[in-house]
Amino acid sequence: MALESHNKQHQLHFLLVPFLSPGHLIPMVDIARLLVNHGAFVTIITTPLNTTRVKVLIDTVNVSKLRIQVVQFEIPVLKFGLPEGCESLELVPSRALIRNFVVAFSKLQTPIEELIEKKKKIESTPISCILADKFNHWMEDVALKFQIPRLIFDGSSCMNHLLLHNLFKSKVYENVQESKPIVVPNLPHRIELTKSQLPLELNPEAQEFRDLNEKIRASEESAYGVVINSFDELELEYVKEYNKVKGNRVWCIGPVSLSYNNNDHVGQRGNKSKIDIDSCMKFLDSWPPKSVVYVCLGSLNNLALAQFQELAMALESCNFPFIWVMKEDDATREELTKKWLLESEFEERTKERGLIIHGWAPQVLIFSHDAIGVFLTHCGWNSTLEAICGGVPMITWPMFGDQFFNEKLVVQILCIGEKLGNEIAIPLGKQENYGANIKRETIVEAIEKVIGDGENKEERRESVRRLAELAKKSMELGGSSYVNMKMLLEDNLVVQERSNNEDFVWQSFDYPGDTLL
Ligand code: UDP
């Protein structure tokens, strides 16, 4: 059969329903771009604020392909006690309101069902597959209602999924003291964690999230498969083990941040940069290779004043050039920090070798610059992968969620990072309780180890450089992630065809459009 007519008959249309937080939305938009590149249609659900964040990138795809449709709905935030415009997790004003935010978003179920119904009636390619964030558990009912296969995505690694699964099944964390180490059972490596480092979903004390966690877990179990932003070569043993758990329906299709080959587009990924990109690049151009410390603690973390000061003093005393990304909230919501920044004249004193970005930084672009020597990170999975792709070793400072698991991968298994030694997870929204756990001397010592005179400096750098190469290869034609994406599409076509025609026999074929956007 000619490729063109084959494609017309077997056209896939993915409905993407991201969770509204930068660490979940950004990779989902990248996945939309990849799906389109592999010949599928995509409809992505968003909200007015998030549309402004992602539209520029989606438009760059549509200029050439016109295959991604953005459908935006208003979330009833006011009804749930949230402030107007609170359309992304980092804007939720307090921990007490996080649950309300998740529930408010679930109110999109009816409009999404109406959308699927409408597309079924009027479009030649109705929705054939749902890719929903794990937190949007209510998409399970939507998929069941329309009998559409549902895949889940949550922006984390295979290792995270496997650890959560094994911990939950074994319950080894129950009746154990907070500070006592637990060995996670049935893993390729010996991984020890304390109960106080475990994510909220395994913390029996997190009452307010208990019912939500149960629904999320149930909808995860019933999903058709799992899409992961990772690549096989990075965590092969975990990919294999997790595939056993999920009946071979796990597809690693990343690192999705490598789906760009245009620096202008990379610079706009996720949000509008708060710094002029040229001046950021000029700053980096002015420093020798591998000399700059890049500090960014993700899109959700706010440091308490005492901890913020320790970090500032560490950067000032270590004598290396640095870029420090401060969340806008550090300078606005947190009055004490704002006052201290002004009165201490920290920015003025360090301006010769320090660049502070107040708000969104073009992170992936920054990693592409050879001057970056080390990344001080909270170990968010996206940031971890992006640093690996840039060949940048890390200093790890996990705070909550899967971040302690990611630290294990970076420091213990891949040997591409130094840890600061944080022992206790601070649940999202409780950062006001975060004292100066990590002292300035510890931070300075870690920086010295990685870009100063550290013993294993070269080995660490060589390991991450090798991984960066493997990451790039995995996304190229014939690479593992490229092939996995093809297999994911073929699998879903098979499901689609089987539901239409019981006698259907699948024949594999090549997809058009292998160029990166
Ligand atoms: N990010 C960015 N600029 C910023 C802050 C964050 O580009 O100033 C991006 C970063 O590149 C990553 C995402 O936001 O893709 C954060 O996701 P991650 O999983 O690392 O952490 P989270 O923010 O979810 O804790």
pLDDT tens digits for range 404-463: 999 999 999 999 999 999 888 876 665 555 667 899 999 999 999 999 988 899 999 999
Residue 361 has pLDDT above 50, yes or no: yes
Q: Residue 170: which of 152, 193, 151, 154 has the closest Cα?
A: 193
Closest CA to 404 of 375, 383, 378: 378
Q: Whose CA is nearest to atom 7 of ligand 1?
A: 363
CA pair distance 271, 230, nearest whole angstrom:
22
pLDDT, tens digit, for every residue of 155-169?
999 999 999 999 999
**Which two three-digit tokens encode residue 221?**
């179990």
Which is higher by pLDDT, 319 or 284? Answer: 284
SS (H, E, C) 388-401: HHCCCCEEECCCCC
For range 337-361, the mean pLDDT:
91
Is the pLDDT confidence value at 517 over 60? no
Ligand 1 pocket test: which of 153, 383, 402, 431 has the largest number of ligand atoms within 8 Å of its C-beta? 383
| Average pLDDT value for the chain | 88
Point out which residues pair with 150 in neighbouring strands. Answer: 130
Q: What is the pLDDT of residue 507?
A: 43
How many angstroms does the Cα of residue 388 sit away from the middle of ligand 1?
Answer: 14
Q: Cis ω on the peptide bond leading into residue 255 (within 30° of 0)?
A: yes
* Over residues 126-141, mean pLDDT: 95
What letter does residue 409 receive in the DSSP assignment?
Answer: I
Question: 73-82, 120-129, 389-398: which range is least confident on average?
Answer: 120-129
CA of 501 to the centre of ligand 1 (A): 43
What ligand 1 atom has the least distance to the C-alpha of 357?
8
Beta-carbon contacts of 245 under 8 Å, excluding residues fewer than 6 positions away, are: 162, 165
Q: Are 506 and 493 in contact (CB under 8 A)?
A: yes
CA angle centred on 297, ends 294 and 303, rounded to 5°? 120
* pLDDT tens string 296-313: 999 988 888 889 999 999
Index of the ligand 1 atom closest to the CA of residue 377? 20
pLDDT classification of 84: cutoffs 50, 70, 90? very high
Q: How far apart are CA 495 and CA 176, in angstroms?
A: 44
Confidence band of 515 (pLDDT split at 50, 70, 90): very low
Regarding the beta carbon of 394 and ligand 1, being less than 6 Å apart is answered no
Residue 233 pLDDT: 97
Report whether residue 383 contacts ligand 1, using a CB cutoff of 6 Å: yes
For the chain, give the percent of residues with pLDDT over 70.
88
- Please indicate whether residue 298, judged by its CB atom, sits closer than 6 Å to ligand 1: yes
* Cβ–ligand 1 contact at 267 (below 6 Å): no
Helices vs strands, H then E, count in the chain: 21, 15
Atom of ligand 1 nearest to the CA of 26: 15
Q: What is the pLDDT of residues 184-216, one digit of tens each?
A: 999 999 999 998 888 877 776 666 778 888 899
Residues 6+ apart with CB under 8 A from 117: none
Give the pLDDT score at 39.
87
Is the per-residue pLDDT at 264 higher than 90? no
Sign of CA dihedral 93, 96, 102, 107: negative
Q: Which range (3-7, 258-262, 283-287, 468-472) has the least confidence?
A: 3-7
Strands in 292-296's sheet, in edge-to-edge order, are: 354-358, 322-326, 292-296, 372-377, 394-396, 417-419
From CA 370, how far away is CA 294, in angstroms rounded? 12
Q: Are 130 and 17 in contact (CB under 8 A)?
A: yes
Q: Would you say the CB of residue 296 lies under 6 angstroms from ligand 1?
A: yes
For the cut 80, the answer to whether the pLDDT of residue 382 exceeds it is yes
Closest-CA residue, ligand 1 atom 16, reads 23
Give the residue, out of 133, 257, 363, with the most ligand 1 atoms within 8 A of its beta carbon, to mutate for a pocket test: 363
Least confident segment among 169-178, 219-228, 257-266: 257-266
Distance CA 184, CA 194 (A): 10
Do residues 224 and 151 lie in contact, with contact meaning Cβ atoms separated by under 8 Å?
yes
| Confidence at residue 228, expressed as pLDDT on a 0 to 100 scale | 98
How confident is the model at residue 261, as a pLDDT? 77
- Residue 22 CA to ligand 1 centre (angstroms): 6
Ligand 1 nearest-atom number relative to CA 362: 7
**Quick check: CB of 381 below 6 Å from ligand 1?**
yes
- Closest C-alpha to ligand 1, atom 17: 23
- Pocket probe mutation, ligand 1, options 265, 301, 382, max atoms within 8 Å of Cβ: 382
Split at pLDDT 50, 70, 90, the class of 512 is: very low
Beta pairing class for 394-396 and 372-377: parallel
The one-letter amino acid code at 402 reads D
Is pLDDT at 74 greater than 50 in this prediction? yes
* Separation of alpha carbons 125 and 419, rounded Å: 49
pLDDT for 435: 66
Among 56, 259, 277, 299, residue to substitute to test ligand 1 (most atoms within 8 Å of Cβ): 299
- Cβ of 159 below 6 Å from ligand 1: no
pLDDT at 7: 46
Nearest-CA residue for ligand 1 atom 24 is: 23
Higher pLDDT, 6 or 286: 286
Residue 205 pLDDT:
62
22 in ligand 1 pocket by Cβ < 6 Å?
Answer: yes
Q: Is the CB–ligand 1 distance for residue 325 below 6 Å?
A: yes
How confident is residue 497, by pLDDT bands cut at 50, 70 and 90? low
Contact in structure between 387 and 367 (CB atoms under 8 Å): yes
Cβ 398 under 6 angstroms from ligand 1: no
* DSSP-derived 3-state class of residue 46: strand
